[in-house]
Amino acid sequence: MENDSIRASGNSTLVDVWVNGKLRAISVTRDAIETFLGVSRAKGMTEDERCEFVRGHLPELVTAVKARLRDTDPSADTVVIDIGHFGGSAVDRRKGDRRKSDRRKLNLPKETLPQGERRRGDRRRSDRRQPSRKAGEKTEPSRLD
């Protein structure tokens, strides 16, 4: 991508990209970047760092632009990406352990478990259906009064 196609201007980062067969001017606000990265990480970003962020996240940006075009005017030449358009949190889940807790079964009393927690002892121990009749077995006739 050319050096001048991504540039910072005030609180926005401007990008010129071909989207859906048309060259579009995209404005990504500082708030959208802060929402994507989290305020603590994006607070002290310089204009050059915001440009590098946009350059590194072009696929996500194009996806957000296509969604905005679908929701608004598909023939728009200018698209503004603001809070909530660019995505929520960009936390890389692969860095940490994805399991939140220990998966081993603990031997706890039933009363201390969270509501809705099922244990083997709570399961139905018998068949829900009535046992089938064997061939030749007679049943009592039902009496209708």
Is 100 part of any domain? no
Place of tokens 């959208």: 32
- State the residue range of the domain holding 62: 3-81
pLDDT for position 112: 72
Please report whether residue 101 resides in a domain: no
| The pLDDT value given to residue 15 | 93
Residue 50 in domain: yes
How far, in Å, are 3, 43, 81, 110 from residue 51 at the CA level?
A: 10, 15, 14, 55
Q: What is the pLDDT of residues 57-102, one digit of tens each?
A: 898 899 999 988 988 888 889 999 988 887 654 444 455 555 666 6
Q: Sort residue 81 into left (φ over 0), alpha (ψ -120 to 50) or beta.
A: beta
- Alpha-carbon distance of 87 to 140, in angstroms, equals 68
- Report if residue 75 sits inside a domain: yes
When divided into structural domains, the chain yields a total of 1
pLDDT tens per residue, range 23-47: 999 999 988 888 888 877 777 888 8
Structure tokens at 93: 């889940």
Rg of the chain over Cα atoms, rounded to whole angstroms, equals 30
Percentage, residues of the chain above pLDDT 70:
57
When pLDDT is averaged across residues 119-138 and rounded to a whole number, the result is 62
| Position 31 in a domain | yes
- On whether residue 41 sits in a domain, the answer given is yes
Residue 73 included in any domain: yes
**Is residue 135 situated within a structural domain?**
no
